[in-house]
């Protein structure tokens, strides 16, 4: 058999044919590893080096709880060493918190109901002032018809 000029398998690499990586700006806040059944959010605990006790207390009353550093070990190097929350993950005055997903769904349903009630109140107010001879308000329904268009 004729000897072929081949590169040994160990020396052959896909890195040579791989697309070069591009520079991207860094993320301001890293994304946590998600745990099933929980929603995550960065909550302000200080602004301009002043503690924001009002904001953090309102969020804890809503059900948000600080994420412990043991739960997200990849944040070990990012944590602020002067943080008031020694077990928590604070980055730049923001504390990583979590809440059960069903609380988020209930909150969204509550505010959706509030928005619908406000729209209904505005519509009712307009309808009260409407005159049949010159209506101020048209029904928000659309119709679609199919046919030949003749």
67-114 tens-digit pLDDT:
888 888 777 777 777 777 778 888 878 888 999 999 999 999 999 999
Mean pLDDT value across residues 55-67: 89
Mean pLDDT value across residues 3-11: 65
The answer to whether the CB of 27 falls within 8 A of the CB of 42 is no
Report H helices in the chain: 53-62, 101-129
Mean pLDDT value across residues 11-34: 72
Mean pLDDT value across residues 38-56: 87
Name the residue with higher pLDDT: 92 or 11.
92
Q: Which helix (H) or strand (E) is 51 found in, with range? A: strand 50-51
Using only C-alpha atoms, what is the Rg of the chain? 29
CB neighbours (10 Å) of residue 56?
A: 20
Q: Is the per-residue pLDDT at 115 higher than 90? A: yes
Burial class, 38, CB count within 10 angstroms (exposed 0-12 / middle 13-18 / buried 19+) = middle
Considering the chain, what is the average pLDDT of its residues?
Answer: 79
Q: Is the per-residue pLDDT at 137 higher than 70? A: no
């Amino acid at each position: 058999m004729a000897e072929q000029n081949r590169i040994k398998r160990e020396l052959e690499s896909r890195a040579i044919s791989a697309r070069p990586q591009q520079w991207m700006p860094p993320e301001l806040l890293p994304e946590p590893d998600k745990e099933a059944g929980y929603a995550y959010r960065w909550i302000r605990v200080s602004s301009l080096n002043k503690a924001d006790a009002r904001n953090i207390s309102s969020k804890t009353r809503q059900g948000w709880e600080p994420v412990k550093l043991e739960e997200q070990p990849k944040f070990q190097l990012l944590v602020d060493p002067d943080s008031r929350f020694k077990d928590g993950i604070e980055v730049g005055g923001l504390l990583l918190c979590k809440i059960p997903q069903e609380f988020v769904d209930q909150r969204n349903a509550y505010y959706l109901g509030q928005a619908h009630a406000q729209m209904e109140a505005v519509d009712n107010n307009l309808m009260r002032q409407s005159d049949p001879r010159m209506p101020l308000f048209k029904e928000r329904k659309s119709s679609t018809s199919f046919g030949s268009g003749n």
